[in-house]
Amino acid sequence: MPTHDARDLNLSIGKEALKPLYEVKPSRVLAAYVFEWILILGTIALANRYFSIWTYIPAVILIGSRMHALAVVMHDAAHFRFLSNRKLSDLITDVLVCFPMLIHVDGYRRNHISHHQHLNTGDDPDWVAKEGRPAFARPQTRGQFLGRLFLYLIAYQGLADLRWMARRIGKDKKGQAEKLQMRVFYALLFATLTLLGLWTQYLLFWVVPFLTSFMMFQYIRSFAEHFGDLKYSNLLTATRTVKPFLIERVLIAPYNISYHLEHHLYPAVPFYNLPALHKLLMTDPVFREQAHFTRGYLHGLLKEL
């Protein structure tokens, strides 16, 4: 069973070297939220104005990738790496990211903290939920993996994932405040869509990307993080750091999420400091020799299947 604490790995990285990497800059998270929404709304406006199959398909891919980017930044907020006022931090993150994606940040946080504390064990809710699913089966052939990506592109797998998410969300005990916030959000959203006659645009430019490209990018990254050719002997081999190609950095690994091993070692380090953390860890011989690195998401995973 892997250890879940970097202190148990005999790394030579000192506390003083790590201290500046824990600094939280709320403006970086807020700027990321705003930037991604500008990209999404701008893409919708352009694709709607010059609508054709040749503009719609790229729009679906790009919007899904920006949804994924929002989810990656939300992950920092779930680790309390946003505002010191936690209620305000959660409210902003819920409205801008989680509620549009049918979740709430505190529910995600409870699940995710357990994932960190009990990584790849029977007490890890992510591991338990994914371990028995065909999409995460080991061993898995390249054909099975690529076939799964095709099912995402036609929304079949995305709908299956949505049903799976609904069952998991159904077990989550939301507080009264969260329930009320979600109800108000959806009431306002549905009223706005109805009054402005935007239901078609909502289905074409939010629901379809959510069920196809967003779900696919999430799956690829999730598979890379904890499945494939991993040994699970300790934390350095229980997940991997991926060195993405440029297109993967845009679509699959925005905001340094590819430094997943570093994140599990030091989850309090925000996303904008992960490259510096990686550079620091590479000075340690234990990390350099034992850590699991993969070059590219699709290229690397296909080589390991």
pLDDT of residue 8: 60
Among 18-32, 35-49, 78-92, 175-189, the range scoring the smallest mean pLDDT is 175-189
Name which residue leads in pLDDT, 123 or 72. 72
- CA diameter of the chain: 61
Alpha-carbon distance of 109 to 141, in angstroms, equals 33
Give pLDDT tens digits for 60-70.
999 999 999 99
Residue from 223, 254, 300 nearest 29 by CA: 254
CA 190: distance to chain centroid?
A: 26
Residue from 274, 279, 278, 287 nearest 79 by CA: 274
CA angle 198, 88, 70 (to 5 degrees): 50
Domain ranges (residues) in the chain = 14-133+143-304
Q: Which two tokens stand for residue 120?
A: 């790849």
CA 139: distance to chain centroid?
A: 24
Q: Are 270 and 250 in contact (CB under 8 A)?
A: no
Angstrom CA distances, 49 to 54, 62, 164, 242, stand at 13, 16, 35, 38
Residues found in the chain = 305
